[in-house]
Structure formats: C-alpha cells, structure tokens
A and B are shown apart, each in its own frame.
Chain A
Amino acid sequence: MNNEKIEQILNEHQGQPGALIKVLMEIQEENHWLPREVLVQVSEKLEVPLSRVLRIATIYKTFSLTPKGRYQVNICTGTACQVRGAQQVLEEVQKLTGIKPGETGPDMKFSLETVNCQGCCSLGPLVEIDGKTHGKTAPAEIADALKKYE
C-alpha cells in the first residue's frame, strides 16, 4: 500500500465532506482496494461520519473493500458476447488463472470479474485486462494475452 500517496490525496481534500467520492475513487485507483484503516482515515480527514463513508463505499461497484490483484480482468457476459462464446473464454481464463469470477489469486496478480455489456458488441467476446480492451478473443488466444502481464 502506498501510504504517502494516500496521505497526499487526503491532505488535498482535508475538511471537504463533498469530496468523499472523489477521494475514495482516487484511493481505489491508487491502491486497487479500500482497507478498513483507510476508510477510518478518510472519515477523520474529510470530517464525514464513518457511517456515511461505509455506506458510499459499499453501494458503488467501483469501490472494493477486499484486496484486488494488480490487474483487473473483466470478461463481458452480455448477450452478444455470450452468443459469440464468452463462456468458453471465461472457462479458459478460470483454468489459466485458477480463480473464479469475483476472486483474486493468492499471488495478487489477477482479479477476475464478469461484467455486463461494455457497449462494443461487434468486438465480442470482449475481455478487458488492466483497462485495455481485447476484442474478438478466442479461448486459444487468451493465454498469450494474459502472459503479457506480470
């Protein structure tokens, strides 16, 4: 965890309750997840009750209260991707990484998630790794794509 960076984000918005979501998003971006201690810090620095911080942090899917891997793997299971074989891609990724959707590997490398339509159905089946979109993926090709991330 990059404590200095989190400290810096918090200091920038000290005493600004309105910046809550922005601060949480920045920390999420930096740290990939929101540990409990950080939420308590956010509550103290921004002068927001911890109850509200928790409510906001649990209501949005952007925020994760569990540790996440370095690379987020999102597999689209929307209708179009489903028809184009997203299930086979998902199974292949599960086999390669050893984790199921919603889980993070013990080496903290990948976090797997299934998502709904990403809005580019013509590229299906769609796999998004660390923010980069991989279109028209085939189960046989996905291993090469995953190898690039260390």
Chain B
Amino acid sequence: MSEIIIQIDGREVAAEEGMTVLNAAQKAGISIPTLCYLETLEPYGACRLCTVEVEVRGRTNLVAACLYPVEKDLIVRTRTEKVDRIRKVILELLLAHAPEARGLKMQEYAEEYGADKNRYEKEPSFCIQCGLCVRYCAEVKKKNAICFVNKGPSREIQFIPEIASKECWNCTECFPLCPTEYLQGLFVLTKALAFPSAPMGPSVEE
C-alpha cells in the first residue's frame, strides 16, 4: 500500500491508498460529523452530513467525505463557512423528519451547527433514511429481514414478516443503531408482525 499525503484543515495527514477522506481524517483525529456511517458497513453516503470541501488542482468541490477516496495533493477543508451552512440545512431538513430525535449525535450536531428544528414544516416519520438498520441486517447479520420499500416521499423501512418473525426478537441489534430513536425499529417491527399483510404504502391497498 502506497502512502499518500493529503492536507486536511491545513494539516499534513498521511493516508493509504483506497482510504476515504473520512477514514484519513478520523485517523488523524479530525472529527467530521456523520450519521449514516458505521465502520463495519460499506459507506453509503445517505445523510450527506460529512460533506467537506475538497480542492484538486485548484478546483474546489463539495463531496461526501465517507465516499470520496484520497488522492495525491488533495486539500480538504472540513469547517469552512459554506460547509457549516450546508450541514446546518441538512440537519434542519433531517430534524423536520425526527424533531424529537433522542439519538445523542443528532442533538449534539444540531447544537453545534445551530440548526433550528422548527425551520421546516414537520413530517415526523422518525426515519431519516440513513439505511443503517437495512444495511446492518444485510451486510453483518446477512438476514435481510428489513428493507426499503416504495420511492420518493413514501419511501420507508419495512420488516419482512416472513423473516422477521423468525429472526428479529433474538437479535434486535439494529435498534440501537438508529440515529433518531431506539423505539423506531421496535415500532416498525411490531407493526410488520401484527399486520403482516398491511399496505405497502399510501397508494397501495391490499
């Protein structure tokens, strides 16, 4: 593995080829906020909270740090005014879906970036679609008991009753992963088991 030197917030940071900007920053002790990132899972880039500014050959661009691979002479800025503003809006939009999020991370970030949870019209679904539960079940547990269904505004997580009834009560490892609410997983699971033939979405009736 060849070593690559990149610059993060003015500091020289050594990284290995194949690492992402987020990995490199974490190794150097520079914190970048994340909600949908978990070391054991493939990077997903759903929450976009890890947005940073990168400069390559004089051009700047906004990228998701959890997906962007390091390259030679890369300059990364994690706390510019623009990046902070973007993170603030992302948090405000996410908080509109989970205004009472008890997940510590989200509250901390909201305070740090001055995000106002009342800025956007609330739609408390308690799900910010980070996909942590879905990916954890598929990648780590290899059970595929929970999946995303529908698309656009009606996209939501759903347990598959056929699999969930056998596997989930003995596992429940996805519950604490949720950045908004531990009980979210429990609620969706109970709903799926209690109403196995429940509608797949608002527009579909069975």
Binding site for B on A (CB under 8 A): 36, 40, 49-52, 54-55, 58-59, 65-66, 102
Of B149, B163, B205, B206, which one neighbours A55 at CB under 8 angstroms? B149
Instruction: Name B150's closest neighbour in chain A (CB-CB).
Output: A58
- B197–A36 touching, CB < 8 Å: yes
Subset of 5 A-B contacts with CB under 8 Å: A49-B144, A50-B144, A52-B147, A55-B147, A65-B200
Q: Mark B114-149, 1 if CB is under 8 A from A, else 0.
A: 000000000000000000001001100000111111
Q: A49-B144, A52-B144 are in contact. List 10 more A-B contacts (CB 8 A).
A: A40-B162, A50-B144, A51-B138, A51-B145, A52-B147, A55-B147, A55-B148, A58-B149, A65-B204, A66-B204
Of A40, A52, A58, which one neighbours B200 at CB under 8 angstroms? A58
Q: Is chain A's interface secondary structure helix, strand, loop, or mixed overall?
A: helix
Using Cβ atoms and an 8 Å threshold, which residues of chain A touch B146?
A: 51
| CB of B160 within 8 Å of the partner chain | yes
Instruction: Name A51's closest neighbour in chain B (CB-CB).
Output: B147
- A50–B163 touching, CB < 8 Å: yes
Interface size on B (CB < 8 Å)? 22
Q: Across the A-B interface, give the 10 residue pairs with the lowest CB-CB distance, nearest first.
A: A51-B147, A49-B144, A51-B144, A58-B149, A59-B151, A58-B150, A55-B147, A58-B200, A54-B147, A50-B160
Using Cβ atoms and an 8 Å threshold, which residues of chain B touch A65?
A: 200, 204, 206
Using Cβ atoms and an 8 Å threshold, which residues of chain A touch B201?
A: 58
Measured between C-beta atoms, what is the minimum distance from A55 to chain B in Å? Answer: 5
Q: Mark B175-206, 1 if CB is under 8 A from A, else 0.
A: 00000000000000000000001001101111
Q: Give Cα A58 to B206, complex, Å.
A: 13
Measured between C-beta atoms, what is the minimum distance from B37 to chain A in Å? Answer: 21
Using Cβ atoms and an 8 Å threshold, which residues of chain A touch B206?
A: 65-66
Of A40, A49, A58, A102, which one neighbours B138 at CB under 8 angstroms? A49
Using Cβ atoms and an 8 Å threshold, which residues of chain A touch B197?
A: 36
Q: Give Cα A58 to B205, complex, Å.
A: 13
